[in-house]
Structure 1
């Protein structure tokens, strides 16, 4: 159809308005929208919150004294009375597993925090101060040449078994990896034009680091902290399993599995339940780390 108007030359055709075929785009907002855009974070956070709830409210979740010994109820199978069974000393495995969540979560969160703070400090200094880079990184390289579990075992051999010493040993073993990550980020940021402009304007080095460098290192550092948390939980379980971690009197997932390995073929449930809880907790932290990486890194984002 041709429509003529005084402002339109004769012979010019105007197409009619097309109907709306595609529905209006409704952006997902709010908390529900965030969960839909980041399902990995939602699943990982949900599992981790569940484990934290179990650890905090263990006394209220129908548990008994995890250290109470009863020779009459040794190696009982899982039942309505003993949900996860009992070990060779008659201790309730359900109670020990729930209380053991406290040890693993405390170790994981503490190591992630202290290793991140120490590694961030070392990485900032090494990446921005050229004179200190060679010395600091050679020390970090020497520490990284030793597997973390062997370094933690060597450090634990010099001290007595306790939760605090386990945290300290694993933290020392994880610091070099954080410092190397931060140093690499700082080296790339140091060459950016805005840093050159700050230096040319006479801004002092501490202010440049705090204002321009530090904020840009937090995103990769947070993601790395989640992986350190998961690794620390596994390392703590390994140390306790081989007898170099927390004392046997403290219920931890590694200790429970170590005590049940002798009866694995006939009483597998002693090892099975703490292993399931450890695997779920590590999975939750890793899922959270993967989701944070996808959300904080624009190159990994699936949405435009």
Structure 2
């Protein structure tokens, strides 16, 4: 029997194969931006605010090294001197150097702002988490917070300062008490939405205790909004401290603060406006820096507000 011969197909040559046309790039290549320059390009608002705030912090820390003198030293013979090469910001009605007083005043405003932001955030976070997760405590706690919120913060701070003597510590306590209700209400709203999430309900069904649920599941998800709120509290606290000092209900006049400097120069505003102008500019820049930092943090921490993924 003759064996069958198996014929193999002819090998395809390069001319017989049709080359596919390369597809055009629909999406441009992703170039991740890294480093400090990339961070500034992604979050310019936060970068500007952080830079200005860091500059003010450095000014407050290194005020003794920035060609300043004793901010409380009196020199009646040199009072109300105009800004010059010797007195960069001029002198006030008691001959004190306004430049030195403004730089040292940054310490008071920053200490008050940071302290109030931290204390109000911590206390308000604890109150808001308890009120938002425990239904029985919600009605009692939030009615107290609503009563405090019905009073304007500045009036509540003035009333609290009227019961004590003027000092930086008492100013911090008074402003903190006035800001706690706003933080607690914000945290309560976040907790009310978080406790209905499936992972929280699963933890409850698994028998996890309430403190563990709050610590593991609720607390981490409240840090982002509370951080943004803390920046706004810091800015509001610095303004409130300046108002209290301006009306004589804040820090003692012997302590150089921006509010005290402006209060002492308001009588000579029409003839010597520089006494009020320079501390007002420093206060405005600091508050603007904190607000810019807060806006940048909001955009970076909130996925809905982010411009890029």
Corresponding residue number in structure 1 for 2:121? 116
Deviation of residue 29 (structure 1)?
1.4
Structure 2 distance, partners of 1:268, 1:145, is 37
Task: Please name the residue that 1:235 is paired with.
Answer: 240
Cα deviation, 1:115-157, whole Å, max 9, x if unaligned, reads 0000000000000010000000000000000000000000000
SS across alignment from 2:304: helix
Tell me how large the CA RMSD over aligned residues is: 1.8
Distance 1:24 1:247 in 2: 61
User: Counterpart in 2 of 1:34?
Assistant: 39
TM-score with structure 1 setting the length = 0.95
1:271 corresponds to 2:292: no
User: What is the Cα deviation at residue 114 of structure 1?
Assistant: 0.2
Q: Which has the larger radius of gyration?
A: 2
Match in the other structure for 2:91: 86
- For structure 1, which segment, 272-281 or 15-24, has the greater mean C-alpha deviation from structure 2 after superposition? 15-24
For 2:130, what is the secondary structure of its paired residue?
A: helix
Match of 1:75 in 2: 80
1:14 Cα deviation after fit: 5.5
Q: How does 1:137-156 map to 2 (within 5 A)?
A: 137-156=142-161
Equivalent residue for 1:61? 66
- Using the alignment, how far apart are the partners of 1:84 and 1:232 within structure 2? 26
Tell me the distance in 2 between the aligned counterparts of 1:300 and 1:246.
39
C-alpha deviations, 1:257-297, integer Å up to 9, x for none?
00000000000000000000000000000000000000000
CA distance, structure 2, for counterparts of residue 170 and residue 54 of structure 1: 24
| 1:33-73 alpha-carbon deviations (Å, 9 max, x no partner) | 11210011110000000000000000000000000000110
Matched ranges for 1:168-207 at <5 A: 168-207=173-212
Cα distance in 2 for residues equivalent to 1:297 and 1:21: 29
**Structure 2 partner of 1:98:** 103
- Within a 5 Å distance, the mapping from 1:290-301 to structure 2 comes to 290-301=295-306
* CA–CA distance in structure 2, aligned partners of residues 266 and 243 of structure 1: 22
CA distance in 1, matches of 2:25, 2:307: 27
Change (3 A) 1:200 1:273: same
Unaligned runs of 5+ in 1: none
Equivalent residue for 2:162?
157
Aligned residues between the structures:
297
- 3-state secondary structure, aligned to 1:298: coil
1:259 pairs, out of 258, 264, 271, with 264
Shifted more, 23-32 versus 171-180: the winner is 23-32
Name the stretch that deviates more: 12-21 or 165-174: 12-21
**Corresponding position: 1:136 with 2:141:** yes
**1:289 maps onto 2:294 in alignment:** yes
Question: Any unmatched runs of 5+ in structure 2?
Answer: 1-10
| Length-normalised TM-score, structure 2 | 0.93
